[in-house]
Chains A and B, each alone.
Chain A
Amino acid sequence: MFKKLGALLVALLVLSVALAACSSGPAPTGNITLWHSWKESEIPALNEVIAAFQAKYPEVTFDVLYVPFDDLRGKYETAVATGGGPTVLIGAADWGPALYDAELIADVSDLAKSGFLKTINAAALGAVQYKDALIGLPQTIKGVVMFRNKQIVPTAPATLDDLLKLHSAAPKGDVYNTDLEAGFFFSAAHLNGIGGKLMEANGDPAFSSAKGVEWAQMLATFGKTGLGEYYTDNDVNLFKAGKAGIIIDGSWNMTGLAEAIGAANLAIDPWPTTSGGHLSGYVQTENIYLSANALDAAETAGWAFMEFFLGKDAQTTLVKAGHIPAIAGVEVADPLMEQTVKAFERGTAFPVIPEMGAYWESMDNALKSILNEGADPAATLKTASDNITAKIKEIRAGQ
C-alpha cells in the first residue's frame, strides 16, 4: 500500500516538475497601468480586450488612463524619466525610435518568441524593429487612402488621367467631383508610387530627382486644375456635407465619413495607376510599447498583455473599433475595412526613423513654394534636399 502511494507521489512530483518546465513562466499578476489616446468610439473594444485578459489572468488589475494625443508623449517621457509612468503605452509608431534612444521603452526581443512574431504582418513588424531591437509591437495598421462618395462619383477612377479628368470638370452647383489634398504627409507617398523615393534606406534625401520633379508638378496640377487643399480640413468638411466626391485622407476618418454620408455611399478605392506606377499613401502602424520602468512582475504582466493584444481574439475584437489587424488570419467582414486593406496594397511604408524629423519643415516649405508661388520644382527640391541633409547631420551628431 505504502509502495503504491509512494510511487503515486513520485509520479505526481515528476509530472508537476515536467509541467512547470513546459510552462512559459510565472502567471502574470499585479497591476498594469495603460496609457492611450484612443477615441471614444474605440473604448468599448479596448474594455472588451482588457476584460478578456482579466478573465484569463484574474490576478491582474488595470489602471487605464486616456491622455490627449498631443500630451501623451510628453507626459510619458516626463513620468518614465522620473521613475514613474505606465506599464504599457499605446502610441504612434514614429515615437518608438526616440523613446528607445532615450531608454524610456524596453527592448522586448528577449520576451518575444519567433513563432509569435511570425503571426504579425511583416511590414508592420518592420515599424518596431530598430537598431537590432524590438521596441514594441504593432497593434494596428492605418494609412492615407482615397475616399469616394458613390452618389457624386459613381465609378472609381482607375488611372491618374481619369482622376484628373474628374478633377478638372466644372462643379455641379456647389458640388465638386474631387478635392485633392497635397499636404506633405498626404502626398509624399505618391513619389514612391510613381517610381521615385523620398529617402534612401539610411534616411538621406533622394527626392531631388527627375521623379521628384514629376511628383511636384503632379501636385501642382491638383491645385491648378481643380479644388486642392494643403493641410486643411476643407476637403473633409465638404465630403461630410456631400459637396465633394473624392478626397484623400486617413483611414482613421472612415467611421466619421461613413456616418456623415452613409456607409452605403462611401467607397475606399485602390490608388489610380499612372504611367510609371500608381498614386500611393503612407501606411503606418500604431504600436504598443513596454515601459523601461516595467520590471519583474510588471514586465511579465505587461508583456503578457502585449502578446494578448496581438492575439487573434483581441485583434478580432479590435476590428469592431475600426482597427485593421496587424496579424494574419483575422477575418475582416466590414466591406469598408476590406476596401481599406485592398487600398493599402498600393500603400508605402511610412519611414519610422529619426531622420524623418528633418523632412517635415523643409518639405512643407518646398511644396508650398512650388504649389502656391509657382517656384521652379527642380531648384526648390534641391534646396530642400540640402537643408534636410544639414539637419540630418545635426540629428546624427546628437545621437
Chain B
Amino acid sequence: MSKKLKGVLRQIAIQLFLLLVTAMVLFPILWVVSLALDPRDIDKPLELRLIPPGASLQSFRKVLFEPFNLLCRDPSNPATCMKFGGLLRNSLLVALGTSLLAVVLGSTAAYAFSRFRFIGRQAGMLFFIVMIMLPTTGLLAPLYVLLSQIRIGSEPLRASLFGLVVAYSSGFLPFAIWNLKGYFDTVPKELEEAALIDGASVTGTFVKIILPLSVPALAVTVLNSFMTGWTEFILAWTFLDNPSRFTLAMALRSMQGQFATPWSEFAAMSILMSLPIVILFFLLQRYIVSGLTIGGVKG
C-alpha cells in the first residue's frame, strides 16, 4: 500500500470518526427540536424524522405568550400568573447578580491569595478545593437556616432573589477563587512592579494591570457563574415561596409532572432557555480561547 493511499485512508477514518462524534452531539439537540415541533406531547420521536407529522410552532407560542398557570400568586386569578417575560427578568437578575458577585469577590480574593503572603493562605486554598467538591445541594440545609435568620423587612433573605444570588455565589466562589488564583499566578509580577514604580497603588495595579490581562479567566468565571444562576432550580424551589420571584429554570422544572409532562412545551422552553447561554458563549468566546498575556513582558 502506497504512502499516499495510507494517508487518504487515515484521513477518511478521521473524518468518519469526526462525523460520528458530530452526529452524537447533534442528535439530542435535533431530538429536542423535533419534540418542540411535535404537537402530540410524546417523550421521544416514534420515528427518525426531524419534522414530525403535524409540526407547528404552537408550543413556542404557548411558552412565550401564555401564562404559566401553576406559577400564580393567586391561582384563582390568571392575571397573577407568571409569564415568560417575568421569569426571564428574574433569571437575568439572578444569573447576572451571581456573575457580578462571583467576579468581584472571586477576583479580589484570588488576587490576595496569589500575591500576598499571610497566615492560613495554604490551608485556605486547600479549603476551597474541598468546598469545590461539595455539591451545592449539600449546603442546602445550612444555607436555608442561615439565610432564614437574616431578614429584609418582614421577610427572610432566603425568600428573595438576592438571597438566591448569595446562595449561588457562595457555592460558586470556591471555584472562582481557585480558577482565578491559578490564572493570576501566571501574570508576570514584573508588570505590577513596573506600575508600582510608576506610582500606581496596589488597588490601581490590580484594576488597571491585572484585571485587563485576566480577561480570559474572568470570561470563564462569568460564563460558569451565569450558567449556575441560570440553570439551578433545586435551591430555588426550596428557598422561594413567592411565584412572582420564580425563574425560568423553576418554570421548566414545574413542567415536569409526576405522571405527565407536556413534552412539546418542555422542549420549546429548553430551547428558548439555552439561547442566552449560547449568546453569552459567543460573546465571550474570543476571550475564553485567547491568551492575552503572551508578549506582555517583552516587546
Interface size on A, residues (CB 8 A): 34
Chain A residue numbers with a CB within 8 Å of B43 are 233, 237
Q: State whether B40 touches A47 (Cβ < 8 A).
A: no
Q: A43-B69, A78-B141, A78-B144 are in contact. Are A71 and B259 (CB under 8 A)?
A: no
In whole angstroms, what is the CA distance A70 to B255 when docked?
Answer: 12
In whole angstroms, what is the CA distance A70 to B145 when docked?
Answer: 21
Closest B residue to A142 by beta carbon equals B259
Answer yes or no: B84 CB below 8 A from chain A CBs.
no
Answer yes or no: B86 CB below 8 A from chain A CBs.
no
Closest A residue to B255 by beta carbon equals A68
Chain A residue numbers with a CB within 8 Å of B269 are none
The residue that A46 contacts in the complex, of B46, B75, B243, with Cβ under 8 A, is B75
Answer yes or no: B128 CB below 8 A from chain A CBs.
no
Report the minimal beta-carbon distance from A231 to chain B, rounded to whole angstroms: 13
Closest B residue to A255 by beta carbon equals B260
Chain A residue numbers with a CB within 8 Å of B145 are 82
| Interface of chain A, main secondary structure | helix
The residue that B234 contacts in the complex, of A46, A50, A71, with Cβ under 8 A, is A71
Q: State whether A68 touches B144 (Cβ < 8 A).
A: no
In whole angstroms, what is the CA distance A74 to B233 when docked?
Answer: 13
Q: State whether A240 touches B70 (Cβ < 8 A).
A: no
Within 8 A of B (CB), among A36-61: 37, 39-40, 43, 46-47, 50-51
Report the minimal beta-carbon distance from A53 to chain B, rounded to whole angstroms: 12
Q: State whether B148 touches A82 (Cβ < 8 A).
A: yes
Q: State whether A241 touches B234 (Cβ < 8 A).
A: no
Within 8 A of A (CB), among B70-94: 70-72, 74-76
Q: State whether B76 touches A65 (Cβ < 8 A).
A: no
Report the minimal beta-carbon distance from B183 to chain A, rounded to whole angstroms: 36
Report the minimal beta-carbon distance from B66 to chain A, rounded to whole angstroms: 11
Answer yes or no: A164 CB below 8 A from chain B CBs.
no
In whole angstroms, what is the CA distance A75 to B144 when docked?
Answer: 10
Q: State whether A65 touches B241 (Cβ < 8 A).
A: yes
Q: State whether B254 touches A252 (Cβ < 8 A).
A: no
Answer yes or no: A116 CB below 8 A from chain B CBs.
no
The residue that B253 contacts in the complex, of A65, A68, A233, A252, with Cβ under 8 A, is A68
Q: A78-B140, A78-B144, A237-B43 are in contact. Are A66 and B254 (CB under 8 A)?
A: yes
The residue that A238 contacts in the complex, of B41, B46, B243, with Cβ under 8 A, is B46
Q: State whether A39 touches B256 (Cβ < 8 A).
A: no
Chain B residue numbers with a CB within 8 Å of A64 are 74-75
Closest B residue to A37 by beta carbon equals B258
Q: State whether A250 touches B243 (Cβ < 8 A).
A: no
In whole angstroms, what is the CA distance A39 to B262 when docked?
Answer: 11
In whole angstroms, what is the CA distance A65 to B237 when docked?
Answer: 11
Q: State whether B46 touches A43 (Cβ < 8 A).
A: no
Answer yes or no: B42 CB below 8 A from chain A CBs.
yes
Q: State whether B260 touches A68 (Cβ < 8 A).
A: no
Q: State whether B70 touches A66 (Cβ < 8 A).
A: yes
Answer yes or no: A256 CB below 8 A from chain B CBs.
yes
In whole angstroms, what is the CA distance A228 to B238 when docked?
Answer: 38
Answer yes or no: A360 CB below 8 A from chain B CBs.
no
Report the minimal beta-carbon distance from B31 to chain A, rounded to whole angstroms: 14
Answer yes or no: B257 CB below 8 A from chain A CBs.
yes
Closest A residue to B253 by beta carbon equals A68
Most buried by B among A47, A66, A69: A66
> Contact string, B173-208, partner A, CB cutoff 8 A, digits 1/0?
000000000000000000000000000000000000
Q: State whether B69 touches A82 (Cβ < 8 A).
A: no
In whole angstroms, what is the CA distance A46 to B238 when docked?
Answer: 23
> Contact string, B125-155, partner A, CB cutoff 8 A, digits 1/0?
0000000000000001100110010000000
Closest B residue to A33 by beta carbon equals B241
Chain A residue numbers with a CB within 8 Å of B234 are 71, 74
Answer yes or no: B44 CB below 8 A from chain A CBs.
yes
Q: State whether B46 touches A47 (Cβ < 8 A).
A: no
Within 8 A of B (CB), among A50-97: 50-51, 64-71, 74-75, 78-79, 82, 84
The 6 closest A-B pairs by CB, nearest first: A69-B258, A71-B237, A252-B259, A47-B76, A66-B70, A237-B42
Q: Which residues of B contact A (CB under 8 A)?
A: 40-44, 46, 69-72, 74-76, 140-141, 144-145, 148, 233-234, 237-238, 241, 243, 253-254, 256-260
* Other A-B pairs, 11, CB within 8 Å; known A82-B145, A237-B42, A252-B258: A39-B257, A70-B256, A70-B258, A71-B237, A71-B238, A74-B234, A75-B238, A233-B44, A237-B43, A237-B44, A240-B40
